[in-house]
Structure 1
Amino acid sequence: MMDQIARGSLSPYRFFALEDWAKLRADTPMTLSAEDVRALKSLNDPISLAEVEQVFLPLSRLLSFYVEAMQGLFDVTRRFLNTDEGRKTPFVIGIGGSVAVGKSTTARILRELLKRWPSAPQVELVTTDGFLFPNAVLEAEGLMGRKGFPESYDVGTLLNFLSDIKAGRERVTAPVYSHMEYDIVPGAVQEIGQPDILILEGLNVLQTRDLPSAGKIIPFVSDYFDFSIYIDADEDAIRHWYIDRFMRLRETRFRDPKSYFHKYAEVGEPEAHEIARDLWERINLVNLHQNILPTRPRADLILRKGEDHAVVEVALRRL
C-alpha cells in the first residue's frame, strides 16, 4: 500500500528503510525487557524486542523532541495572550489503521517507552472502543453490522472528551468497553487526570467528514492531535492476520461462556474459517476501503508492515 504514495520531490513524506530509521535512535536507552514486550503485545502480534529497538526507540526520541517543542509553543501562546492559566496542555498522539494491524500493541509499547523518559511523564492510553454506541442503540438503529464504521461512534462524546483533555481539566472520564461482552460496560469509566501525554488509538481517528455548511466550526477528532501515526500493510496480509487472530481467539477467549462470540468456539474449524473470511470481506474490508485507508495520507508518520507483521519502512511527514 505504501507504494501508492508518491515518492517524488513533491511527496509530503520522507521514506526510511528500517536500517536507516533504526540509526535515528542515537543514544536513546532501551528501557523495556523482552518480558515487558511479551506482556504488552496483543494476541497474534509477533513483535520482538529487536523491533522495539529499531522502530519504537527512534520514534520515542522523535516524540520527545515534538513534546518539548509543542510545550514551548504553548508557553509562547500564553505569553502572547497574557494569560497565566497554570494548566499543562497534554500532548495528544493519535494511532489509526485497520483491524488486526497492530494498533493496540503499538499504543501500549509507546505508552511504556514514553512513561520511562527521564522526566517520568504521566502517559495515558484511551481507545475509541469506549466511544462506540452501546449495542442496544446500534441494534435500534440497525447498525450492529456496521460496528466500527464512523456512524457507530458517539463522536460528540469523544470530541467533548478530547476538548476537556486539551483544556487541562483535572478529571476527565472515558467510557469503558468490554471485548468479552462486545459492548459498553454500563456505568464504568476510565478516569484521566491531567496527563502530560495522551495516546488515542482507534480505527477511524484520522477520519474527516463532509465539511459543515456555512463554515460552522465543528472539529474533527484529529484536530486535537499533536502527532498522528497510521499503521499500514498490504490488504492480503491484513486479511491473513485477521483470520488467523479469529481462529486463535476461537481457541482462547471465545471458549469463555461469557464471551459474546462463544458460539464461534463451538463450530468446526472449516466453518469458523469461513465465518472469519465472511466477517472480513463483508464488514472489515469495506470499512478499510471506505473509511480507514483514505485517512492514511493525513498521518504524520506511517509505519508499513511486511507479511511477517514486522515494520519494514517508515514514512515521516516533512515539516
Structure 2
Amino acid sequence: MEARVDTGVLSPFRHFSRAEWASLRADTPQPLTAEEISRLQGLNDRLSQDDIEEIYLPLSRLLSMYVGATQKLFRAMQKFLGPEEGGKKPYIIGVAGSVAVGKSTTSRVLQALLARWPNTPKVSLVTTDGFLLPNAVLQREELMQRKGFPESYDLPALLHFLTDVKAGKRPARAPVYSHFNYDVTPNETVEVDQPDILIVEGLNVLQTSRPPKDGKGIPFVSDFFDFKIYIDADEALLERWYVERFMRLRETAFRDPAAYFHRYAGISAREADATARGIWRTINLVNLRDNILPTRQRADLILSKGGDHQVEAVALRRL
C-alpha cells in the first residue's frame, strides 16, 4: 500500500511571504548607498533599495544572530575542551543555486551588509569557480561539456582549502577563475586571512553523494558550512535570464578579440538566441535537474525569486 504523506505538515521549513519577511528587519539600519547597491548588482540581475530593505537586511540580522550564537558556543567549547591550535574559526555561509539565478549578487550584498554590523566583522567571499579543473584537464578528460558539473571540480583542493580556513590557518589560498578567459588563472590566488565570516558561492556546494557503506567517506563541501542558502526560481525564468545575460555579453565582453567567447560576437541575434538556448538546455538545465535542484532541501534558507529577479518568498529551516 502506498503511504500518503502531507509534505506541508512535515516540512522542516517556516514559510514567509515577502511582506512577512520584510517585517523581521525591525530597526536594522540601511547602511548602503544607491551607488553601492548599483555596484553590487550582477550582470542582468536586479537589485533595488526595496530588495535590500525587505530581503537582505532581515537576512543579515538573522545571520548576525547565528554568528553570535556560534561564537558563544565556540568559546564555551574552548573552556570545556581547552584551547585549540590555530587561530579563530570563521563562520562559513554557503550560497547555492542555478546558473543565472543571482548567486553572486546575493553573496556580494551579504558580504557588504554583514561587514557593517556594529562589531564590524571581517567578511571574505570566495566562489568555487576557481576550483574548476583547468580547461586543459577538462579537455583531456573529455569534460568540457560538463563544466560546472560536480566532476569538473578539483574537489580535494576545495576540501583542503575549507579545512585550512576552519583550522584558522593564515592565510588560506584559493585559485582564481577568469570568466573572460573561461579558465582558471595560472599561478594566481586569493588569500583568505582568518575572516570572521566566509561566504562560499557555487553551483554544487550543497551536493552530497551516496554515503559509503564502511562509513569512511571523505567529507562533503557543505560539512564545513554553518549556514546554507539556496536561491530558487522556475526553470523557465532561469532560461530567460541566462539567454538575456548571454545576449548582453555578446554586445559587451564577447566583443573583445581576446575573449574566450569572441566567436559569438559576430553571429546574428537569432543565431545567438538559439546558441544560448542550446547551451542552457544541453548543459545548464541538465546540471540543474541532476545535481543542483536536488540539494535545495538541504538549505537552511531558501530565497524564491519571481519574474523580475525579485525575491517573492522565503523559507527558513526550523531550529
Report the CA distance shift for 1:213/1:8 in structure 2 as closer, same or farther (over 3 A). closer
What is the DSSP-based 3-state SS (H/G/I as helix, E as strand, rest coil) of the residue aligned with 1:215?
A: coil
Residue 157 of structure 1 deviates from its aligned partner by 0.3
Deviation per residue, 1:109-154 (Å, 9 max, x gap): 0000011111111100000000000000000000000000000000
Cα pair 1:95 1:205 within 8 Å, conserved: yes
Matched with 1:25 is 25
Counterpart-to-counterpart distance in 1, 2:211 and 2:20: 39
Summarize deviations over 1:32-89 as a string: whole Å, max 9, x none: 0111111111110111111111000000000000000001111121122122547211
Deviation at 1:258, TM superposition (A): 1.3
Q: Provide TM-score, normalisation by structure 2.
A: 0.97
Partner residue in 2 for 1:132: 132
d(CA) in 2 for partners of 1:221, 1:74: 21
Answer whether contact 1:206 1:222 (CA < 8 A) is retained: yes
Which whole-Å CA distance do the structure 2 matches of 1:29 and 1:229 have between them? 23
Alignment-derived partner of residue 237 in structure 2: 237
Query: Is the 1:126–1:198 contact (alpha carbons within 8 Å) kept by the matching residues of 2?
Result: yes
1:212 touches 1:218 (CA, 8 Å); kept in 2? no
TM-score by length of 1: 0.97
| Per-residue deviation, 1:13 | 0.2
Aligned to 1:207: 207
What SS does the aligned partner of 1:58 have? helix
Residue aligning to 1:3? none
Task: Report the residue type matching 2:227 in the other structure.
Answer: F
Task: Read off the aligned partner of 1:280 and give its amino acid letter.
Answer: W
Aligned-residue RMSD, C-alpha: 1.0
Offset of 1:10 from its aligned partner?
Answer: 1.2
Amino acid corresponding to residue 147 of structure 1 in structure 2: K
> Is residue 101 of structure 2 the alignment partner of residue 94 of structure 1?
no
* 2:303 match: 303
Q: Which runs of 5+ in 1 are unaligned?
A: 1-5
**1:129-278 matched pairs, under 5 angstroms:** 129-278=129-278
Q: Secondary structure at the match of 1:9?
A: helix
CA distance in 2, matches of 1:312, 1:235: 16
1:253, 1:259 within 8 Å by CA — same for their partners in 2? yes
Q: Alignment partner of 1:173: what SS?
A: strand
**Paired residue type of 1:189:** T
Match of 1:45 in 2: 45
Equivalent residues of 2:211, 2:217 under 8 A apart: no
AA matched with 1:312: E
Cα separation, partners in 2 of 1:122 and 1:8, compared to 1, 3 Å: same
* Cα distance in 2 between the residues matched to 1:86 and 1:210: 32
Give me the identity figure in percent: 61
Q: Deviations over 1:161-205 (max 9, x none)?
A: 000000111211000000000000000000111000000000000
Q: Match of 1:13, as an amino acid? A: F
DSSP-derived class of the 1:8 partner:
helix
Distance 2:268 2:85 in 1: 61
Is 1:291 aligned to 2:299, yes or no? no
Counterpart Cα distance in 1 of 2:187 and 2:279: 30
| 1:213 Cα deviation from its structure 2 partner | 3.6
Q: 1:100 to 1:222 in 2, by over 3 A?
A: same
- SS of residue matched to 2:77: helix
Does the CA-based 8 Å contact 2:86-2:167 persist in structure 1? no
Which SS does the other structure have where 2:57 is aligned?
helix
Structure 2 residue runs of 5 or longer lacking an equivalent are 1-5
Q: Distance in 2 between matches of 1:52 and 1:169?
A: 33
| Alpha-carbon separation, structure 2, partners of 1:75 and 1:100 | 39
Q: What's the secondary structure of 1:70's corresponding residue?
A: helix
